Amino acid sequence: MTRSVLSLKDIGKSVPTGWLGRKRRKVLCGLDLEVEKGEVFGYIGPNGAGKTTTIGIVLGMIKQDTGSVNVLDRPAGDHEARARIGALPEQPYFYPHLTARELFDYYASLFDLDKKKRREKAHTLLGLLGLGNQMDVRLSKYSRGMLQRFAIAQSLVNDPELLIYDEPFSGLDPIGRKDMMNIMLDLKSKGKTIFFSTHILSDVQYLADKVGLLAGGRLSRVIDGDEFRRNSTDEMEVELAGVGLEDVETLREYADEVVSSDGKTFLVIKGNENLTRIIELSLRNGYRVEKMLPRLKFLEDIFSSEMEVAQR
């Protein structure tokens, strides 16, 4: 029998708004949510839906107005539960004057690891995230993507049972995104439970066992991962870099949609034959294929319809 490792019951939360904060805006309204042991649960919703607020409540950093939270059989914020959680905030901040090795060692010391174990953890986890050659560089010199990789490494220092990630793919390049997906799948294979929020539907495509849609402050729907993968269309979303303006019209011959922005070209392609032509053109003309994912039309339709209901 599966065991719930994360349970939220009738959670309500409002925040001050307006002049001098005299008015309050409801962020969460009777939110009920369950995550079972060993699941990868994708938590999706538009910007401002309350995903980060939910995570803050789960971690005990924000107090809900109503309802109850149970994390690993303990109340939210409990010291014992926190020691078994790995967390990644949406916008992590680190001491810029320290090196990755120094700050990682500090975080590891909070879990009473001895010096040898801390050193081993640093080499293993920072190396896994592609920072092995940058361990002695000050974090002030790190790029946004490198800081995100460090944030992921520090979330694993205590070998946590439950991972709570807020926008884990933020700031990562395509290689970093692929590495992060592989890490999350590896953690799942080891029996870890992962709860991650995102507003990008493709993030949940290969990872989630279940997807919860936050709309109107409530979990309006939970979808089984196999269901939305099974109902995906035969369309592909492709992102190319290095496409010249003169080449865009050629791409339109094989793509249903073509949009160019900030040096990137986004395509929606239907059918294997058209996809093959686009790949051939990319190889011939030196375009870089940054992303290639099946289009989740089924999930997009559900998302749109639930948002319409919530806004009524």
DSSP three-state, residue 40: strand
- Residue carrying the six token digits 């079972």: 36
63-95 per-position pLDDT tens digit = 999 999 999 999 999 999 999 999 999 889 999
| Distance of alpha carbon 161 from alpha carbon 85, whole angstroms | 6
Side by side, which strands form the sheet with 40-44?
85-88, 162-166, 193-198, 40-44, 210-215, 218-224
Give the confidence band of 306 by pLDDT, cuts at 50, 70, 90: low
Task: Say which amino acid occupies 185.
Answer: L
> What would the CATH number be for the domain defined by 4-231?
3.40.50.300
Mean pLDDT across the chain, nearest whole number?
88
* pLDDT value of residue 1: 46
**Domain spans in the chain, listed from the N-terminal domain onward:** 4-231, 235-295
Residue 300 has pLDDT above 90, yes or no: no
* pLDDT value of residue 164: 97
Residue 235 has pLDDT above 70, yes or no: yes
* pLDDT value of residue 311: 58
Instruction: Of 165, 240, 234, 231, give the one whose Cα is nearest residue 203.
Output: 165
Mean pLDDT, rounded, for 198-223: 85
- Comparing 99-108, 146-155, 189-198, 218-227, which segment has the lowest mean pLDDT? 218-227
The domain defined by 235-295 folds into Alpha-Beta Plaits (3.30.70)
- Comparing 164-168, 225-229, 258-262, which segment has the lowest mean pLDDT? 225-229
Task: Say what percent of the chain tops pLDDT 90.
Answer: 51
Residue 312 has pLDDT above 70, yes or no: no
Mean pLDDT, rounded, for 124-139: 94
List, in sequence order, every residue forming a beta bridge with 267; answer none if it has no partner. Answer: 238, 258
253-293 per-position pLDDT tens digit = 999 889 887 788 988 898 888 888 888 888 888 998 888 87
Task: Say which amino acid occupies 174.
Answer: P
Give the confidence band of 47 by pLDDT, cuts at 50, 70, 90: confident
